[in-house]
Amino acid sequence: SVSCSFFLSSYHNHFKPTRYCKHPLFSSRSKYEHSSPWPAFIETLREDSVTKHMETLSAFKVLCGKCGNGLGHEFINDGPEEGQSRF
């Protein structure tokens, strides 16, 4: 699984973290190849792994559900298959 500390320390420039933590957020099983330079995932480890705030009709701002670290976005219907999300 991928914790937000791994996520944030490896992709610091993209996520601009304000804090670091070690909460599990994504399973490596949900990871997939995407053209963007940071890792892409279809879903979070658990429903409550993250907190989401609607930013636009097709994107949520995604925060660590435990400590509130900013993790980027969920893009609706932008995953590898129809109806899937991209994190």
Among 23, 31, 52, 61, the residue binding Zn ion under the rule CB under 5 A is 23
Q: Which residues of 28-45 are buried (b: 16+ CB within 10 A; e: fewer)?
A: eebeeeeeeeebbbbbbb
Tokens of 25: 């957020």
Q: Which is nearer to Zn ion, 65 or 79 (CB)?
A: 65
Neighbours of 71 (CB within 10 A): 25
8 interacts with Zn ion by CB under 5 A = no
Straight-line distance from the first to the last Cα atom of the chain, in angstroms, rounded to the nearest whole number: 14
- 66 belongs to the binding site for Zn ion (CB under 5 A): yes
4 binds Zn ion (CB under 5 A): yes
Q: Name the helix (H) or strand (E) containing 40.
A: strand 40-41
34 binds Zn ion (CB under 5 A): no
Rounded least distance, CB 18 to Zn ion, Å: 11
* Residue whose CB is less far from Zn ion, 21 or 42: 21
What does the binding site for Zn ion look like in residue numbers (CB under 5 A)? 4, 21, 23, 64, 66-67, 69
